[in-house]
Amino acid sequence: MPYTDIRGIERSNMSTSQIAVLRQNIHGLSADDYATALRDRLPDAEISVARTPAEEADLLESVPIATGFSLSEAQIERAKHLDLFACVYAGVGHLPLDTFEEHGIAVTNASGVHGPNIAEYVIGAILSHVRGFNRARRQQHNRVWQSYPASELQGSTVTVVGLGAIGTAVVDRLEPFGVDTIGVRYTPEKGGPTDEIYGFDEIHDAFARTDYLVLACPLTDETRELIDSDALLTLPTESVLVNIARGGVVDTDALVSALQANRIGGATLDVTDPEPLPGEHPLWDFDNVSITPHNAGHTPDYYERTAEILAGNVDRYRDGDTDFENRVV
């Protein structure tokens, strides 16, 4: 039977089940992997994978639903029947959201897909500093058998900046370790899973008591270089920074200066500014700094989780419900 879409256009049942999977390769997973995960959940949908720019253009002219990491303004202009764009990234700062809104196209993101994997990365990073695994690795490489001091995570204070899906997952996994947790968020009145909540205007009060600082916030005008020389001066000298947010949340020169002056205990950085980090950059040379190539989000379940979100939203779409999960436009 006919179906009226979210723009009020009457369509056939077949057309409401057409989904275009745009060209993408994320964490070594191909668009075909994503399409397979979608077909498992939506066996009655017509799911097409675009392999070339020409195929993308053709599909975008006809489908009501498309999913990928980006659409340009020109592509949006040509997508006359597009009702929903499901971005496979959690962040949507790279998208022309105003253009989507002007054309009446709903946009969702992949918020939540990174919760388990990045939270595990954070726990591993903290424990690596606590137990001195970096030093152990260096000594093993040099075949040196020498005892060294270590610490305990229990009884320490972990501050998490950003209490979205990732920050919340981090706090949940910290619970068995017997730590005190502080959350920092834009709207502290919303509360959260941490023992205490602070707003950004009280951030130094939180930092002064912090043993491990986890950055899990988006990069915005307010958070850009949030961790500057002043913030690093407030942090205790033994504190450790873990950044899985964006490189720009940290003033890189200030961090280098703090490490050089021994004003901070160490850092684990999955993101840097600049990124990629140049080979000659001084951050590479610190024994108490671990750097990974923006890899904390890697998981073999990435497309399984994004497909789960989109499948639920397709069901809503078919029912005429526009209250999509993770809707940002």
211-244 pLDDT tens trace: 999 999 999 999 999 999 999 999 999 999 999 9
Are 284 and 277 in contact by the 8 Å Cβ rule? The answer is yes
Cα–Cα distance, 256 to 245 (Å, whole number): 18
Q: Which residue numbers in the chain have pLDDT < 70?
A: 1-16
User: Checking DSSP bridges between strand 106-108 and strand 65-68, what pairing results, if any?
Assistant: unpaired
pLDDT tens-digit series, residues 158-217: 999 999 999 999 999 999 999 999 999 999 999 999 999 999 999 999 999 999 999 999
Peptide bond into 276 cis (omega under 30): yes
Are 21 and 38 in contact by the 8 Å Cβ rule? The answer is yes
Angle between helices 115-131 and 165-174 (to 10 degrees): 50
Question: 3-state DSSP call for residue 71?
Answer: coil
DSSP state letters, 201-261 = GGHHHHHTT-SEEEE-----TTTTT-B-HHHHHHS-TT-EEEE-S-GGGB-HHHHHHHHHT
Are 310 and 38 in contact by the 8 Å Cβ rule? The answer is yes
Say what the pLDDT of residue 3 is: 45
What the block records as the tokens of 140 is: 């093993």
Catalytic residue list: 246, 275, 294
Q: Half-sphere exposure (CA, 13 Å, Cβ side) for 10?
A: 2
Instruction: Say which CATH class 3-113+299-318 falls into.
Output: alpha beta
Question: 3-state DSSP call for residue 166?
Answer: helix
Say what the pLDDT of residue 7 is: 52
What the block records as the tokens of 128 is: 């690596």
Topology alike, domains 3-113+299-318 and 115-291: yes
Cα–Cα distance, 287 to 70 (Å, whole number): 38
Cα–Cα distance, 235 to 242 (Å, whole number): 13
Q: How far is CA 79 from the centre of its chain?
A: 28
Instruction: Report which of 309, 259, 310 is spatially closest to residue 288, judged by C-alpha positions.
Output: 259
Cα–Cα distance, 160 to 118 (Å, whole number): 13
The arrangement of secondary structure in 115-291, i.e. its CATH architecture, is 3-Layer(aba) Sandwich (3.40)
pTM (two decimals): 0.87
Are 243 and 161 in contact by the 8 Å Cβ rule? The answer is no
Cβ neighbors of 266 (< 8 A, separation 6 or more) are 129, 134, 240, 241, 259, 286, 288, 289, 290
Residue ranges per structural domain of the chain: 3-113+299-318, 115-291
Say what the pLDDT of residue 186 is: 94
DSSP state letters, 21-56 = E-S-EETTEEHHHHHHHHHHH-TTSEEEE--SHHHH
Instruction: Report which of 160, 195, 8, 170 is spatially closest to residue 83, judged by C-alpha positions.
Output: 8
